[in-house]
Structure 1
Amino acid sequence: MTNFEKVSIKATNWIGTTGSIVVHSILFVGIFSLQLLGFHFDTILLILTTAVSLEAIYLAIFIQMTVNRNTQSLEGVEDDIEEIQEDFKDLEDDVEDISEDIDKIQESDEVEEAEELLTKRTITNLEQDLQRLTKDIESLKKQKAPKLL
């Protein structure tokens, strides 16, 4: 940033202060007091109108410079917003992927639970069959066993 830009920023900031109002009021009253020093009223009005016109021109330039700075700043903000939107889109995609992964894990857990339940039932059925077979074998042994007496 050049020195002129720094000065223009300070001037623009100062113009909107109470100090600026006080200085302008003093200058306005002071310009008319030149009549007491012997200046003609027409000359005083010419000086005042010229000064006010020049100040208006400079104020317009300062305002335009401020608008340009704000525009540049807004362009930077727009870029930041675009980056945030892209990041948000990426996050949405990541959340969607995670949701799909969770669904797959839940399905996998449900399948595992079903397989575990089926295995338990099969083991229970096998145990019952073994108990029945054991009873049958014992009863067959009792029937075929020689009677000792």
Structure 2
Amino acid sequence: MKELIKKNVEKHSSSLEGFALHTTKHIGSPLSLVVHTCFFVGIFSLQWFGFGFDQIMLILTTAVSLEAIYLSIFIQMTINHQAHKLTAVSKDVEEISDDVEEISKDIDDIQEDVEEISEDVDELGKQDERKALKHQSEQEKIYHIENILRELLQEIRSFEDKKK
């Protein structure tokens, strides 16, 4: 039962709020200016229908007072509605800000990982260079030994040739 009453109140308040928002949207528009001008001209034309000046002023001041009261209420409802919207947007901005902070931290972590990987790659590159230099040095030693062996082989052949 309470839920039904709550839904009924929300339905009526939302339609009243919609009316207030719609009304305040048109205040200050050219149409509003035309309507108010026609009203003022029309109110003074009541003299031709037998109304006295005092009665016309009483009707005018009463109508203007009521309009001011209702417009101020509608404007306050619009302000409250906008305040609720701003609160919701503010919460969204806070959530986005938190997400941005988390992403920033993730980016910092990724950047640190990239730096570590870069250092590892540099170290591997240096190790590869050392291995290449070591291999080159070994190749040079082998080449040098081969040359010595060739020279020795030639000397041995030359000794054999001399013996014969």
TM-score w.r.t. structure 2 length? Answer: 0.82
Q: Which amino acid aligns with 2:86?
A: L
**1:47 corresponds to which residue?**
59
Task: Please say if 1:103 is aligned against 2:115.
Answer: yes
Classify the secondary structure of the residue corresponding to 1:61. Answer: helix
**2:80 corresponds to which residue?**
68
The counterpart of 1:59, out of the listed 54, 62, 71, is 71
Q: Deviations over 1:35-65 (max 9, x none)?
A: 1211111111111111111100011001101
Q: Which moved more, 1:23-32 or 1:131-140?
A: 131-140
- Given that residues 20 and 75 in structure 2 are in contact (C-alpha distance below 8 angstroms), is that contact kept between their aligned partners in structure 1? no
- Given that residues 20 and 78 in structure 2 are in contact (C-alpha distance below 8 angstroms), is that contact kept between their aligned partners in structure 1? no
Task: Please say if 1:13 is aligned against 2:58.
Answer: no
Give the alignment of 1:115-130 within 5 angstroms. Answer: 115-130=127-142
**2:125 corresponds to which residue?**
113
Taking the aligned partners of 1:29 and 1:107, their CA distance within structure 2 comes to 86
Taking the aligned partners of 1:127 and 1:4, their CA distance within structure 2 comes to 94
Q: Deviations over 1:3-49 (max 9, x none)?
A: 22222222222223211111111111111111121111111111111
TM-score w.r.t. structure 1 length? Answer: 0.90
Q: Which moved more, 1:127-136 or 1:57-66?
A: 127-136
Higher relative CO (Cα under 8 Å, sequence separation at least 6) belongs to: 2
Listed as ranges, the gaps of 5+ residues in structure 2 are: 1-10
Taking the aligned partners of 2:26 and 2:107, their CA distance within structure 1 comes to 50
Taking the aligned partners of 1:37 and 1:81, their CA distance within structure 2 comes to 61
Listed as ranges, the gaps of 5+ residues in structure 1 are: none
Taking the aligned partners of 1:15 and 1:9, their CA distance within structure 2 comes to 10
What displacement does 1:108 show? 1.1
Task: Please say if 1:31 is aligned against 2:43.
Answer: yes
Taking the aligned partners of 1:29 and 1:48, their CA distance within structure 2 comes to 11
Classify the secondary structure of the residue corresponding to 2:51. Answer: coil
Q: C-alpha root-mean-square deviation of aligned residues, in Å?
A: 1.7
Taking the aligned partners of 1:15 and 1:127, their CA distance within structure 2 comes to 94
Q: What is the aligned residue count?
A: 149
What displacement does 1:119 show? 0.6
